Amino acid sequence: MKRENTILLDIDIDFDEAINEWKKNKNVLKCGMYSYKKGKQNCCYINNENNKKCRKKHIIGSNYCENHY
């Protein structure tokens, strides 16, 4: 099988840098698990059924909690 018009790309991914960037907004939990870091304000999601705001803390860099992110 002959392939024509194939382009080979040189991809260089620094996985050490990638994991450090990924961990910036996470808390380390037990057993290799992570959770998002939370801010001090509550989530901005409002449930339309009962017109109540979500009481969970929002994720840093977002207006929403883990459930509504």
pLDDT in tens, 1-24: 666 788 888 999 999 999 999 998
CB neighbour burial string for 18-31, b if at least 16 within 10 angstroms, e if fewer: eeeeeeeeeeeeee
Sign of CA dihedral 68, 63, 58, 32: positive
Which among 65, 57, 22 has a CA at the least distance from the CA of 39?
Answer: 57
pTM above 0.85, yes or no: no
Beta bridge partners of 9: none
pLDDT in tens, 35-47: 888 777 777 766 6
